[in-house]
Structure 1
Amino acid sequence: MDIDTLLSDLLEQNLLYLLGAVLLVVLAIKAVKIVPQSEQHVVERFGRLHSVLGPGINLIVPFLDRIAHKISILERQLPTASQDAITKDNVLVQVDTSVFYRITQPEKTVYRIRDVDAAISTTVAGIVRAEIGKMDLDEVQSNRNELIATIKVLVEDSVDDWGIEVTRAEILDVNLDQATRDAMLQQLNAERARRAQVTEAEGHKRSVELNADAELYAAEQIAKARRIQADAEAYATSAVAQAIAANGLEAAQYQVALKQVEALNALGASPGSSTIVVPASALEAFGDAFKMLKGKS
């Protein structure tokens, strides 16, 4: 064997080894799959579902298995949707809703539903219309939290076969048509006017009650003063009667004479009087009074 033949054989062997090495590298690259934390990969073998790869390093059979779908498992938000609904009391409302969900079983999502976002939006719209149709407008406004909870539960039940978890459902706004708004505004203004009238009437009633209480208090105080005055007069009369009973008629005459003398002195001390004309009978009475006072002294 010559040198050329030997070199040719070595080159062929080296080429085979090189091709084998390259093939091993390619097989290794094809077999090893690294899945990000936020994703799950659906693997098909001969066109059928074979497995679902979770986050991390995974191994597949090269050329037999292929990654058909890369599904994000992050929470998603559907675009805000508006749908018309009619309440139990026949009021047309426009409801703005938003739904948050995430895919938990990608094999169900990719093989059972084509457009998951559109399917969820349609489901939410139907449930919202049905639930609002069971409630009056006032209940829709006041029980929004309960309505949201009910919608979330019903949507979860409806999309369970699609491998989806509904994390949140929100009713962003409930809009009314213009005619209903005008009617509600009139009702609100009427209620405000009624409350104002009630408040004014209650204020007037309270004012009357306070005035009556004041008049009653004044009457009670006047009656109390008169009662005290009557008690004083009764006491004075009783004292005089007791004095007369104890000292006889002479004591009473003495008091009368004393008052007569005091009156005469006061009359004489008046600056505008220089001459006093006294009847004869009065002089006799004053004389008797002076005698009585002299005798007492």
Structure 2
Amino acid sequence: MDLGFLLNFPLLILIVVVVFGFKSFTVVPQQEAYVVERLGRFYKVLNPGLNILIPFIDRIAYKHTLKEIPLDVPSQVCITRDNTQLTVDGIIYFQVTDPKLASYGSSNYIMAITQLAQTTLRSVIGRMELDKTFEERDEINSIVVSALDEAAISWGVKVLRYEIKDLIPPQEILRSMQAQITAEREKRARIAESEGRKIEQINLASGQREAEIQQSEGEAQAAINASNGEKIARINHAQGEAEALRLVAEANADAIRKIAEALQNPGGNQAVNLKIAEQYVEAFSKLAKESNTLIMPANVADIGSLVSAGLKIVEGNNKPAQ
């Protein structure tokens, strides 16, 4: 054997060991799964972390990500129930749940999901009229997800949701829809304007009626207040007159009492005699001034007898009763 080969043999052994070492150890990232085949048959699914394989016997056949994957569905032309063409595109969100089925259940599960989504969408839109397709987006999405999820079980895939991105009708339909929307908005504007005028007229009538009611109530209240004021004034006037009469009566009574007391005092009769004579003369003087007719007593010269007669009356009243 060649001496050079023998000298290089340990180096070759070392190289083979290093190669086998690299081939034996495999690190799987988080949220990923590797499908391992041994001698061409499925062996196992490697979990995240460090895994050991047998070099040249085991091999990693498929690598899958377990994260949620968004998949864009190409736009396609769908025909509605009322024979209107719609250009529709959407997006699917799915996740690999079984790496083994995802590897061996379908040759290309992504293409299978995309094609099934397109055919299901055409079928759903074909059962709807044009207006319903814009109104029932949630229902369309739900039907597509249900159909995809049922079929994707055998592919090891879970379809999470489907969203329609665009629904584009032809330009002629868009123009007619725009005209319809414009007419509808003008109709609502006219209705709103008429409703505004109606409410304005109702408010004006209500305001005028309320003002008339307030005015009539004010006039009635003013009349009541005036009547009450007049009544209170009459009551106050009557009370004032009564009070005046009472005061006059009290004054007369007080004067009479004082006259009576004066008569009881010494010289009271002479004072009364003098007062009566003064009033007698004053009365005749007033009659002479106020009228051309003069009433004279039968005996004008005998004024003293008249005064003495009056004094006798006063003295008679002053005598105590027997």
**TM-score using structure 1 length:** 0.61
Q: Which has the larger Rg?
A: 2
Percent identical pairs in the alignment equals 33
Aligned to 2:122: 129
Question: Helix, strand or coil: the match of 2:72?
Answer: coil
- Equivalent-residue separation in structure 1 for 2:55 and 2:217 (angstroms): 116
How far did residue 161 of structure 1 move? 0.9
How far did residue 100 of structure 1 move? 2.4
How far did residue 191 of structure 1 move? 1.4
Q: Match of 1:155, as an amino acid? A: L
Is the aligned partner of 1:195 residue 2:222?
Answer: no
Distance of aligned partners of 1:188 and 1:20 in 2 relative to their CA distance in 1, 3 Å threshold: closer
Aligned to 1:78: 71
Equivalence map 1:1-297=2 (5 Å): 23-213=16-206, 216=209
Question: How many residue pairs align between the two structures?
Answer: 228
How far did residue 230 of structure 1 move? 11
**TM-score using structure 2 length:** 0.57
C-alpha distance after superposition, 1:65-123 (max 9, x if no partner): 22223333343332352122233444322222011223232322232322332221111
Distance of aligned partners of 1:225 and 1:181 in 2 relative to their CA distance in 1, 3 Å threshold: same
Distance of aligned partners of 1:230 and 1:182 in 2 relative to their CA distance in 1, 3 Å threshold: same
Considering only aligned residues, what root-mean-square deviation do their CA atoms show, in Å? 3.7
The runs of 5 or more residues in structure 2 that have no matched partner are 225-322
- Equivalent-residue separation in structure 1 for 2:59 and 2:222 (angstroms): 118
Question: Helix, strand or coil: the match of 2:122?
Answer: helix
How far did residue 57 of structure 1 move? 1.7
- Equivalent-residue separation in structure 2 for 1:222 and 1:51 (angstroms): 98
- Equivalent-residue separation in structure 2 for 1:73 and 1:225 (angstroms): 84
How far did residue 218 of structure 1 move? 6.9
C-alpha distance after superposition, 1:177-222 (max 9, x if no partner): 1121122112212212222222232233334434544665677688
How far did residue 15 of structure 1 move? 7.1
Distance of aligned partners of 1:187 and 1:31 in 2 relative to their CA distance in 1, 3 Å threshold: same
| Mapped contact 2:73–2:118 kept (Cα < 8 A) | no
- Equivalent-residue separation in structure 1 for 2:67 and 2:49 (angstroms): 16
- Equivalent-residue separation in structure 2 for 1:102 and 1:128 (angstroms): 20
Q: Match of 2:125, as an amino acid? A: I
- Equivalent-residue separation in structure 2 for 1:41 and 1:105 (angstroms): 11
The runs of 5 or more residues in structure 1 that have no matched partner are 1-7, 232-297
- Equivalent-residue separation in structure 2 for 1:115 and 1:125 (angstroms): 16
- Equivalent-residue separation in structure 2 for 1:217 and 1:34 (angstroms): 88
- Equivalent-residue separation in structure 2 for 1:218 and 1:224 (angstroms): 10
C-alpha distance after superposition, 1:24-70 (max 9, x if no partner): 44444333222222432222222222222222222223332222233
